[in-house]
Amino acid sequence: MKLGKLLVAGILTVSIASAQDVMQKSMAIMEQGMTQIQQGFLNNNITLIRNGSKLVDEGNAMFSDKKVIAEYLPKEKKHMANVAENAAKRISLDVNVLNLNLDDKAYVNASNAYSDMLNACSRCHSIVRNW
């Protein structure tokens, strides 16, 4: 019986560590992408904006699964997995809007999509992290 409990505890520990690794990698990739997008807008560099939006999309996809989100959150915040999931959906939509506006050369609208991405990130962080 003790062996079974140890096995379950070990599996739980590995899954939590795995979720944190996914979260940390996801956030690092998204941060890099957001920085590239901002630099692209500041330097009128569409290639940098597009490369950044790809990174944001990639990082966002890694941390969009509600189960992974719930594993990362502390016990008292697991009920907030919906907030993070909704932010991920909003970010995904904003990446699409950003790219469509770049295609149409509607740069002000593209920058508004970037701003909304940043707001989605900030909102999620403020709610989930109690800022």
Domain that holds residue 42: 2-128
Which of these, 87, 97, 120, lies nearest to 49 by C-alpha position?
97
What pLDDT, on the 0 to 100 scale, is given for residue 20?
Answer: 57
Maximum pairwise Cα distance, the chain: 65
Please tell me the distance from the alpha carbon of residue 124 to that of residue 10, in angstroms, as a whole number: 30
Residue ranges of alpha helices (H) inside 43-103 are: 46-62, 66-72, 81-103
Nearest residue to 80 (alpha-carbon basis) of 21, 116, 130:
130
Other CB atoms within a 10 A radius of the CB of residue 109 amount to: 15
Q: What tens digit of pLDDT does each residue of 94-110 get?
A: 999 999 999 999 999 99
Alpha-carbon torsion 113, 63, 72, 22, what sign?
negative
pTM equals 0.80
Structural element, H or E, at residue 114: helix 107-128
Task: From first to last of the 131 residues of the chain, give the pLDDT tens digit.
Answer: 565 554 444 444 444 444 457 788 989 999 999 999 999 999 999 999 999 999 999 999 988 888 888 888 878 888 888 888 999 999 999 999 999 999 999 999 999 999 999 999 999 888 877 76
Report the CATH number that the domain containing residue 23 is assigned in CATH: 1.20.120.10
- What is the predicted pLDDT for the residue at 87? 93
The one-letter amino acid at 29? I
The total number of structural domains that make up the chain? 1
